[in-house]
Structure 1
Amino acid sequence: MKKVALSVALAGGVFLAPQVADAALGDQTLREGMNHGDVKELQDRLSSEGHFTYHTSTGYFGSITRQAVRDFQRDAGIDVDGIAGPQTFNAMGVSGGSSSSNVSSGSGDWITYNGTLRSGSRGASVTTLQDALNSLGHNAGSADGVFGPKTAEAVRSFQRDAGITADGIAGPQTYKALNGETVVKSESTGSSSDSGSASSTVESIISTAKSLEGTPYVWGGTSPSGFDCSGFLQYAFAQNGKSIPRTVATIHDAATSVSTPQRGDLVFFETYTSGPSHAGIYLGDGKFIHAGSSTGVTIADMNSSYWSPRYLGAGRL
């Protein structure tokens, strides 16, 4: 991973911004707040196309550069997010360099999602997350691999800036924002890539749901401090960019009925009142994950003597 230091740059004001070691344009994602030689090269390219209008290339990625990137993206017919990532560089005809310059190796992203991280998590993935947050100006403290209160606050700080749910938990939605991806799902085009994207989203939702095992049940609860059954579903989906209704009955009405549930489908039950009053996420092999009133978030067997006679059917969102 690149070493990060703080430097001062002038571009209509004084800024403290992350400074990263030199690398070839296109081998790292560039975004607002960065101060880097690659940013200067990006500004030069944008200037040659009439998008960057500041009187000189500064190397600092501020609001003027962000708007210039957005203008270029709009003209190129690609996602308009003001972040210079692989899609933007491809539109410029820029081929990236080595992925070793990224926070983690992979497809050109800053950081690779290997599972949801939250307070109490430990390991190399936490260290990588802390490094990424620190490099973006969100103080996670020492990159020691321990997800403590300071890391949680740094995640919340980043989430607030990114305009996503600020819960201090680094799930798929937070990683997408760290990597400069939009967290609003685009319309389906019916291509085979959509099927792969849908499958990836299903697995991310399940990963988020499993990371919440052990969370206590709270009537009306909608956060990791406590969930009711529909609050748990709404949260797991929202963390992956999907908005669903708040109650089991309205979720049931919004879902498309399926005769045989597949992994990621919702399974509905009739419990304390007639009609759908409880639901969970189907995991396969007759198992589902849910927020039970007596168990909290847990994995249960649909074929058990309790759940089997109460099963109403499955639905897909």
Structure 2
Amino acid sequence: MKKYVLTLALAGALFVLPDNADAALGDQTLREGMRHGDVVELQEALRQRGYFTFHTSTGFFGTITTDSVRRFQRDAGITVDGIFGPQSFRALTGSNSSTSTSSNSSVQQTSATSQFSRTLREGMRGDDVVALQEALRQRGHFTHHTSTGFFGTITRDAVRSFQRSAGITVDGIAGPQTFRALNNTTASSGSSNVSAGHVSNPTNSASSTLNAVINTGKSLIGTPYVWAGSTPAGFDCSGFLQYVFAQHGISIPRTVATIHSATTRVSTPQVGDLVFFETYAPGPSHAGIYLGNGEFLHAGSSTGVTITKMSNSYWSQRYLGAGRINQ
């Protein structure tokens, strides 16, 4: 009888275990005893913060993972129960913190144009939303009596109205394409008038294109991580790379492994090169764009699109090398 019950239990576990391709941390509450691709992501995220110290990410939520979650919760000042639910997810990703004062969310304004450093979508708040509303108002698309700083349905409809008039993708999301249209500029980065923090003074056509790629990537900072995501609604690491390069006419493969194979190895990365890391599987499984000064831009599973130091204790141990895209 015990053997029969065990067989049924194992069969049930195999039946409910989803493919890792459907995994996205935050989609479900995780607790002790579970096996899932989300658990791998949780363990990796906790490892980056020094809480999960087991030598490998197993995908099984056991006592080690429970203790890691508890330590993180205790330090975060939230309920300490060892269960990774919505409260813990918000604390881990920082999605419950204000973005209006972040330097990554600042708005660089001139007399007629606005520079934005993240993609804006319904539900967001911040000074950059105010700037977006003002820019739309100047063009006759935002008609609310005041700029609220909240991206609600009125702002979404205003963005759609503007996108329709500009002949660009109509999705109600204000991203790089919308910002370029608002600023009445092209995708070219040949101009030296780029905002502070962006790459400037390109010396040739290739570097000019890479500067434009980086600037587009930086404008997406704050975009959430979504497993298999490849749009400004959410990215995984390779989807992010493919998207930003595609905005400037450069086609690269979809997966990290194939991107790695398509690049030329370089011993020391230069600005615009790709840097590769070995994370949950042998070989290259994560990649980002090298920015110089020991930093890279990437879509992290626990951070979304962000800038990270190469010297970070988690990433430095997993660095495989750099590659250059042939243009």
TM-score, structure 2 length as denominator?
Answer: 0.49
Give the equivalent residue in structure 1 for 2:221.
Answer: 210
Of 157, 174, 178 in structure 1, the residue corresponding to residue 178 of structure 2 is: 174
Residue identity in the other structure for 2:268: T
* Post-superposition CA distance 1:36-82 (Å, at most 9, x none): xxxxxxxxxxxxxxxxxxxxxxxxxxxxxxxxxxxxxxxxxxxxxxx
Measured against aligned partners, the alpha-carbon deviations of 1:261-313 in whole angstroms (never above 9, x if no partner) come to 23343211233334322112223333323333355444444334543343222
Which of 252, 257, 260 is the equivalent residue of 2:268?
260
Q: Is 1:148 paired with 2:156?
A: no
Q: How does 1:124-139 map to 2 (within 5 A)?
A: 126-139=129-142
Distance 1:152 1:262, change over 3 A: farther
Distance in 1 of aligned mates of 2:297 and 2:222: 11
Residues 242-261 of structure 1 aligned to structure 2 (within 5 Å): 243-261=251-269
User: For structure 1, which runs of at least 5 residues remain unmatched after alignment?
Assistant: 1-102
1:205–1:240 CA contact under 8 A, matched in 2:
no
- CA gap of 1:157–1:313, structure 2 versus 1, over 3 A, is farther
Q: In structure 2, do the counterparts of structure 1 residues 183 and 199 end up closer, same or farther at CA, with 3 Å as the change threshold?
A: closer
Please give the residue correspondences for 1:220-299 in structure 2 after superposition, counting only pairs within 5 Å.
Answer: 220-238=228-246, 243-299=251-307
What is the Cα deviation at residue 228 of structure 1?
A: 1.6
Q: Alpha carbon RMSD of aligned pairs, Å?
A: 3.7
| Number of the residue aligned with 1:111 | 113
CA distance in 1 between counterparts of 2:313 and 2:117 reads: 33
Q: Is the 8 A contact 1:223 1:235 kept in 2?
A: yes
- Going from structure 1 to structure 2, the CA distance change for 1:122 and 1:251 (only over 3 Å counts) comes to same
2:158 alignment partner, SS class: helix
Q: Distance in 2 between matches of 1:269 and 1:246?
A: 16
**Pair 1:112–1:139, CA change in 2 (3 A):** closer
Which whole-Å CA distance do the structure 2 matches of 1:311 and 1:281 have between them?
13
TM-score by length of 1: 0.51
1:133 partner amino acid: L
SS in 2 for 1:232: helix
Q: Does structure 1 retain, via aligned residues, the 8 Å contact 2:287–2:298? A: yes
Give the Å deviation of 1:131: 3.6
**Which SS does the other structure have where 1:246 is aligned?**
coil
Deviation by residue 1:147-189 (Cα, 9 ceiling, x = unmatched):
4122233223333444444454434332222243344899xxx
Instruction: Indicate the percent of aligned positions where both proteins have the same amino acid.
Output: 56
Equivalent residue of 2:221, what SS?
Answer: helix
One-letter amino acid matched to 1:232: F
Equivalent residue, structure 1, for 2:126: 122
Higher relative contact order (CA closer than 8 Å, sequence separation 6+): 2
